[in-house]
Amino acid sequence: MQNHVFVIAEAGVNHNGKLELAYKLVDAAKEAGADCVKFQTYITENDTAESCEKAEYQKTKQEESQFSLLKRLELSFDDFRKLQEYCQKKKILFLSTPFDIESFYFLESIGMPMWKIASSEVENFQLLKAVARTHKPVILSTGMCDIQEIEETVKVLKRFNAGEISILHCNTQYPTPMEDVNLSAMKEIKDMFGCRVGYSDHTKGIEIPIAAVAMGAQIIEKHFTLDRNMEGPDHAASLNPVELKQMITSVRNVEKAMGDGRKKISNSERGNRIAVRKSVFAKCNIKKGELLTEKNIIAKRPGGGINPMRWEDVIGKKAIHDFRKDEMIEI
């Protein structure tokens, strides 16, 4: 389908480090109609220094470092093998974002069909180079980036012969304030890089990703969770399964509504033309030979007779026979 929007149901770390919860997230993504379900693969020791503080959106009353938080949420490589097998069984595409080079090599070994680069990794040269050298498609998130930083990242990917590059506009604040969304930036990205563009959403609710599709986004990524009240950094800014399904249904409706860009009569409205358009009618009884003037003719529904756009052709003609009031005029 030409207008098909690729919807990524972002499970991320909303499994809270538990494989059984991850399976349930796969089920929810499949039920909602997502094209794929995506996780995050990392080895905490390779990804984050022990002294690293939490990002603002990660902070809770619980005092711990970002390292400790991520360690609690980490799944093993064996867990990801099982998740991939489960996704194959459920017939939904499995993706996971690598956050360190060892995790990349693991994901490559199990056959990732494409790569999703997180906003945090746009300056990770080693990872970008490795991803590009697989020659597979790349979806690049661009939170915390200006256009020049995106350009530098794209140069690296192209230098090492990455496959098709798609770029997602993104804001990494959870939840993103509406005034900071800046959906119009997708146009600048598309104009500058000439690639598929999309939107990775961290706002509350479903309205912004739907608006993004109406503005031309061809990829939508949205975090979801089984329960927003669960403990963890991303749950509060995620959709529940019902909302995810509502969002995807709305996205599918909008993608249908986008059409082909050519103004034409649709099949559904073609039958309305006769009933709703107008013809030239007798405004009163008219005798044969009487001049047709604006005093004795009028444009009325239905159509099918003389088009009122031919008004000037009718005015001044002589009636070819008697016309009763509300009878279609003939000339």
User: What pLDDT digit, counting tens, does each position of 210-222 carry?
Assistant: 999 999 999 999 9
Residue 297 has φ and ψ, to the nearest 5°, of: -125, 160
CATH superfamily, with its number, for domain 6-258: Aldolase class I (3.20.20.70)
**Beta carbons of 93 and 38 less than 8 angstroms apart:** no
Contacts of 15 (CB under 8 A, 6+ apart): 21, 22, 25, 39, 73, 75
How buried is 66 (Cβ within 10 angstroms: 0-12 exposed, 13-18 middle, 19+ buried)? buried
The HSE-up count of residue 120 (CA atoms within 13 Å, CB side) is 10
pLDDT at 246 over 90: yes
Report the distance separating Cα 142 and Cα 150, nearest Å: 7
Average pLDDT over residues 260-270: 94
Q: What residues does each domain of the chain span?
A: 6-258, 267-314
The one-letter code for the residue type at 271 is G
Residue 188, helix vs strand vs coil: helix
pLDDT for position 59: 58
Helix (H) or strand (E) holding 37: strand 36-41
**Residue 214, token pair as written in the block:** 């109406």
Report the distance separating Cα 14 and Cα 190, nearest Å: 31
Give the model confidence (pLDDT) of 181-216 as tens digits.
999 999 999 999 999 999 999 999 999 999 999 999
pLDDT for position 1: 40
pLDDT for position 64: 73
**Beta carbons of 133 and 160 less than 8 angstroms apart:** yes
Give the model confidence (pLDDT) of 93-152 as tens digits.
999 999 999 999 999 999 999 999 999 999 999 999 999 999 999 999 999 999 999 999
Q: Which residues pair with 300 in a beta bridge?
A: 279
Contacts of 91 (CB under 8 A, 6+ apart): 30
pLDDT for position 2: 56
pLDDT for position 219: 98
Average pLDDT over residues 303-330: 98
Helix spans in the chain (H): 19-32, 44-47, 66-73, 77-90, 101-109, 125-132, 147-159, 185-193, 207-214, 241-258, 267-270, 272-276, 311-314
Give the model confidence (pLDDT) of 20-44 as tens digits.
999 999 999 999 999 999 999 999 9
Residue 162, helix vs strand vs coil: coil
Give the model confidence (pLDDT) of 47-57 as tens digits.
998 878 766 65
Name the pairing type of β-strands 279-282 and 297-300: antiparallel
The one-letter code for the residue type at 121 is E
How buried is 89 (Cβ within 10 angstroms: 0-12 exposed, 13-18 middle, 19+ buried)? exposed
Give the model confidence (pLDDT) of 274-314 as tens digits.
999 999 999 999 999 999 999 999 999 999 999 999 999 99
pLDDT for position 269: 94
Give the model confidence (pLDDT) of 61-95 as tens digits.
566 788 989 999 999 999 999 999 999 999 999 99
